[in-house]
Amino acid sequence: MPLTISPIHHDFVARAEGLDLSQPLAPGDVEAIDHAMDTYGVLVFRKQPLAPEAQLAFARHFGPLDLGLRKVSRSANRLHHEELLDISNVDEQGRVADRNHRKIVGNLANQLWHSDSSFQDPAARYSMLSAAVLPDWGGETEFCDLRAAYDSLPQRLKSEIEGLQAEHYALHSRFMLGDDQYTEEQRNALPPVTWPLVRTHPGSGRKLLFIGVHASRIVDMTVAEGRMLLMDLLEHATQPQFVHRHEWQVGDLVIWDNRCTLHRGRRYDLSARRELRRTTTLDVR
């Protein structure tokens, strides 16, 4: 069956059906997914539970895979595949992690609006999140449309920010949450990178606001002024008209383009088990 696409909003987020993602994709399927991603930025596949190997194989159709923050803290991966990121509140022994467990900070940092791995070059292109175990309430994931957010900026602000560069740093979100117990080596493992604040999305040719919590300052601006500008832009971009909330079902696979969307997890009871698995491609093609 070919891929069928049903938009959820006019040009942001679509439901995708017709493919069995546990099987190797035909080149035409990869192209069709890329094409839909270019238009909608987020695709939701339901009823596609994927074993670790199948999720990795699916992701590799779209480029080399990213390790994210695992480059800083190399704890053992519970899922036994370096490139399958364990987005869960479960500890090494398979129990719901204690609230004081360091891993929980990572969980909570995912509740801040961000673009995966925007703190490195190459950054992330697609993230693919598969839901295995879900809590009874909360734990949704929200997405915001950075292209629509850019389009709706007043012309004065568009001119003001054109040409500005933002610095993105991996540990900024951790510091914001009071987690600052990192060695010099860890702090330097992922040096900051800069990206233009206004970028053009290659697949659609549309301009967008490249922001999110990893952006820690604006180059050639005081930290204070840059952070206030970043916070203002984030507040603009995450207004309800630009945001879609995904309510998870077990077996969902959601793919988003980190180059034109931000996302965040929503609160849930940290003592309830929540297990998702992520694969992420690098933006290198």
Cα→Cα distances 235→113, 209, 229, Å: 10, 12, 10
Please tell me the count of residues contacting ligand OGA according to CB under 6 A.
Answer: 10
Q: Is 48 in the site for ligand OGA (CB under 6 A)?
A: no
Contact 278, 87 (CB under 8 A): yes
Q: Looking at 14, 21, 84, 129, which residue binds ligand OGA (CB under 6 A)?
A: 129
Q: At closest approach, how far in Å is the CB of 258 from ligand OGA?
A: 9
**For ligand OGA, which is the closer residue by CB, 55 or 141?**
141
Q: At closest approach, how far in Å is the CB of 187 from ligand OGA?
A: 22
Q: At closest approach, how far in Å is the CB of 107 from Mn ion?
A: 11
Q: At closest approach, how far in Å is the CB of 1 from Mn ion?
A: 30
Q: Is 110 in the site for ligand OGA (CB under 6 A)?
A: yes
Q: At closest approach, how far in Å is the CB of 110 from Mn ion?
A: 5
Q: Is 238 in the site for ligand OGA (CB under 6 A)?
A: no
- Per-residue x/- track, 71-90, ligand OGA (CB under 6 A): ----------------x---
Q: Where are the beta strands (DSSP E) in the chain?
A: 4-7, 14-17, 42-45, 85-88, 124-133, 141-145, 165-168, 193-196, 198-200, 207-209, 215-218, 243-246, 253-257, 261-265, 275-282
**For Mn ion, which is the closer residue by CB, 116 or 167?**
116
Contact 210, 146 (CB under 8 A): yes
**For Mn ion, which is the closer residue by CB, 25 or 55?**
55
Q: Looking at 147, 214, 244, 278, which residue binds ligand OGA (CB under 6 A)?
A: 278
Q: Considering only CA atoms, which of 225, 232, 219, 221 is closest in space to residue 154?
A: 232
Q: Looking at 66, 83, 86, 116, which residue binds Mn ion (CB under 5 A)?
A: 116
Contact 115, 210 (CB under 8 A): yes
Structure tokens at 96: 């719901």
Q: Is 118 in the site for ligand OGA (CB under 6 A)?
A: no
Q: Where are the beta strands (DSSP E) in 176-252?
A: 193-196, 198-200, 207-209, 215-218, 243-246
Q: Which residues bind ligand OGA (CB under 6 A)?
A: 87, 110, 116, 127, 129, 141, 263, 265, 276, 278
